[in-house]
Amino acid sequence: MTGLTSDQLLFLLRGFGWTIVLSLLAFAGGGALGFVLALTRVYAARPLRTLAMLYIKLIQGTPLLILLFLTYFGLPALGLAVEPLVAAAIGLSTYVSAYLGEIWRGSLEAVPRTQEEAAACLALSWHQRLVHVILPQAVKIATPPTVGFMVQIVKNTSLASAIGFVEMVRAGQMINNATFRPFIVFVLIAALYFVLCYPLSAWSRRLERSFDVAHR
């Protein structure tokens, strides 16, 4: 029906699987660093806050494709040869960390100061206030935009094809080179991206509505 062989469809589905894997790696790595950046921006001493802000501005002002080139071509120049998957995961995690760091910083700052002050009056330590009072509220605020940003992570994995990583777009390019059926191949890829991204977008909108209702 598609004009593609079963082997070609399976190859495309393997690329689909690697797109999911790379998205999860980018979210995990970027989320870990982004959480540190968010805490640093809000609670650290001024010099550290400034360094975190400069890092975020630098990464947000750098195209993701350049970050991928730096990790894949730049690290070997320093004697650190990396596989395309590792390079893609590092580049994407770096990119994601800057954006999640800002999303989560805003969520931490959205928690009313009176909550922290009340917890301090109960003689809770800073760590206890953070874990038991601030973070539970910040997580609720941060969840809708974080889920929405996951859509961008999934889409941006397509740039990993530029460094030779065989995710969904690169798999489609290879199949198209063999079949010369670009319309069929890339419509299938678009449909697979839709399968990944639409549920995340719908979930993000639902969370936003739930959050708005809860705070009316």
Average pLDDT for runs of 10 along the chain of length 216: 84 97 98 97 95 97 96 90 94 98 95 80 82 89 93 96 96 94 95 95 86 54
State the pLDDT at residue 216. Answer: 46
CA–CA gap between residue 150 and residue 70 (Å, rounded): 23
CA–CA gap between residue 206 and residue 189 (Å, rounded): 26
Count of Cβ atoms closer than 10 Å to residue 3 Cβ: 10
Structural domains of the chain ordered from first start:
6-214 (1.10.3720.10)
Q: Name the CA radius of gyration of the chain, rounded.
A: 21
Task: List the beta strands (DSSP E) in the chain.
Answer: none
pTM comes to 0.91
